[in-house]
A and B are shown apart, each in its own frame.
Chain A
Amino acid sequence: MYTQSLNVQEKQGEKPALQTISRENAELQRRFDARIDADGKIEPQDWMPEAYRKTLIRQISQHAHSEIVGMLPEGNWISRAPSLKRKAILIAKVQDEGGHGLYLYSAAETLGQGRDQMLADLHSGKAKYSSIFNYPTLTWADVGVVGWLVDGAAIMNQIPLCRCSYGPYARAMIRVCKEESFHQRQGYEALLVMMQGTAEQRAMVQDAVNRFWWKCLAMFGPPDANSQHSEQAMRWGIKRISNDDLRQKFVDATVPQARVLGVTLPDPDLKWNEERQHYDYGQIDWDEFWNTVNGHGPCNKERLATRVKAHNDGQWVREAALAYALKHQPQTHQAAA
């Protein structure tokens, strides 16, 4: 099933004894574990347990899909941005998100998964993307709130991933994080200007916060007790910090930011706990979260249909480029095919 055993077969011209394979595997597993424990990096050519490889493909590709689908709720507002400066900033941000998707697809491809397969899984509904993008952006203030809270939450998640055990993913995340801080800052700054503006602008911001706050808290995923993948992911150096810990970090960082803005976070149970030295917060509606994750949120069908349409409508363009290349540079394609 793996290139490893195929190579051995080709070399020796006979089927190797089962015992030889499992002794080799055990040794490779030991070295792999040792490297993980020493906080080392696994690179594309290294041996890795199949489950590690599969988990990474799933996680990296879903991260990539999230970036791509995430272009849509904000992209909706490019044509209507209320100033040229905001229009330019928003195009740059959405372009960055596309670029991040590209870095991540590229990292996933090093694990042997082609982009075509990853897209097929997205378009068929088999692969998931971050559920926050299944909610609509109803006003211009939503764009600022997405930058402040959604990107803020993403950054919390992404910084630890820069130390992920898989080299290409860690390096992609470093590149992403460098660009991401601009995203959160521009969102927050846009909101700051609105909060210092007209009564209508202030109401617009508060309304956007009311609609997005709880959804952003849910972005970190279910409490660790209920999360099936967390433990193994931690063991492999893929996941570094627990869902609940990340969520707590986010709340603690965001409450003072909300205070500076002058918005109220819509949680009556939100209060500083002197003993814990953290903010206590209320109950997340996990039923609503799962409902959306499972395809029944406000925009799920629309987001997917939009991506499928873009892909299908673009088929003739991709085919044309390939046909042209085959006519004019056949040697490249023989090499790469």
Chain B
Amino acid sequence: MSTTALKDWPLWEVFVRSKQGLEHKHCGSLHASDAQHALQMARDVYTRRQEGVSIWVLPSKSITASAPEDKDSLFEPAADKIYRHPTFYDIPEEVGHM
């Protein structure tokens, strides 16, 4: 199946600092085969190669999210991953395809 290869490229989160003095801001994500590749792509996709821009890329899977403190929040009880991404979760065999 021709789409198999793409599924195996990891997902990376991209953070960009657009100007000196600002913090890195989360911009979005992209698929890349390795960190260098992700950085290069992030430059083309999220900054159009402006000067003086700093970019961080992290494998999405490596990010841990905080647990909710606010009782009125909508947070899932034990969700500590940032996305409901299919490759992040170990789905028990008996559940089958989802």
B71-89 with Cβ < 8 A to chain A: 72-79, 82-87, 89
- Give the size range of B's interface with the partner: 35 or more
Specify which chain A residues have a CB less than 8 angstroms from the CB of B73 in the assembled complex: 31, 46
The docked-state distance in angstroms from the alpha carbon of A35 to that of B70 is: 14
User: CB-nearest residue of chain A relative to B27?
Assistant: A175
A269 within 8 A of B: no
Q: How far is the CB of A309 from chain B (nearest CB, A)?
A: 10
B31 touching A115, Cβ below 8 Å? yes
B45 touching A102, Cβ below 8 Å? yes
A112 touching B85, Cβ below 8 Å? yes
The docked-state distance in angstroms from the alpha carbon of A288 to that of B86 is: 39
B60 within 8 A of A: yes
B34 touching A103, Cβ below 8 Å? no
Stretch at the interface among A190-198, A250-258, A317-325: A317-325
A107 touching B28, Cβ below 8 Å? yes
A315 touching B5, Cβ below 8 Å? yes
Q: How far is the CB of B21 from chain A (nearest CB, A)?
A: 21
The docked-state distance in angstroms from the alpha carbon of A48 to that of B1 is: 32
Specify which chain A residues have a CB less than 8 angstroms from the CB of B37 in the assembled complex: 321, 325
A18 within 8 A of B: no
The docked-state distance in angstroms from the alpha carbon of A45 to that of B59 is: 18
B35 within 8 A of A: yes
The digit string for A305-337, where 1 denotes a CB below 8 A from any CB of B, is 000000110010011011011001100110111
CB within 8 Å for A116 and B28 given contacts A46-B74, A311-B2, A332-B35 = no
Stretch at the interface among A4-12, A230-238, A277-285: A4-12
The digit string for B18-61, where 1 denotes a CB below 8 A from any CB of A, is 00000000011111011101000000010000000000000111
A84-142 with Cβ < 8 A to chain B: 99, 102-103, 106-107, 109-117, 119-120, 123
A172 within 8 A of B: yes
Specify which chain A residues have a CB less than 8 angstroms from the CB of B85 in the assembled complex: 109-110, 112, 114
The docked-state distance in angstroms from the alpha carbon of A46 to that of B72 is: 12
The docked-state distance in angstroms from the alpha carbon of A195 to that of B33 is: 48
Identify which of A6, A47, A324 contacts B75 (C-beta below 8 A). A47
B28 touching A42, Cβ below 8 Å? no
Specify which chain B residues have a CB less than 8 angstroms from the CB of A103 in the assembled complex: 28
The docked-state distance in angstroms from the alpha carbon of A311 to that of B7 is: 13
Identify which of B27, B35, B74 contacts A32 (C-beta below 8 A). B74
B34 touching A318, Cβ below 8 Å? no
Identify which of B2, B7, B59, B84 contacts A315 (C-beta below 8 A). B2
The docked-state distance in angstroms from the alpha carbon of A337 to that of B90 is: 11
Specify which chain B residues have a CB less than 8 angstroms from the CB of A35 in the assembled complex: 74
B98 touching A1, Cβ below 8 Å? yes
Q: How far is the CB of B76 from chain A (nearest CB, A)?
A: 6
A262 within 8 A of B: no
CB within 8 Å for A332 and B10 given contacts A6-B92, A102-B30, A107-B28 = yes
CB within 8 Å for A47 and B33 given contacts A3-B84, A114-B86, A336-B59 = no
B9 touching A318, Cβ below 8 Å? yes
B77 touching A4, Cβ below 8 Å? yes
Q: Which residues from chain B sit less than 8 Å from chain A, CB to CB? A: 1-11, 27-31, 33-35, 37, 45, 59-62, 65, 72-79, 82-87, 89, 91-92, 95, 98
Q: Which residues from chain A sit less than 8 Å from chain B, CB to CB? A: 1, 3-4, 6-8, 11, 28, 31-32, 35, 42, 44-48, 99, 102-103, 106-107, 109-117, 119-120, 123, 168, 172, 175, 311-312, 315, 318-319, 321-322, 324-325, 328-329, 332-333, 335-337
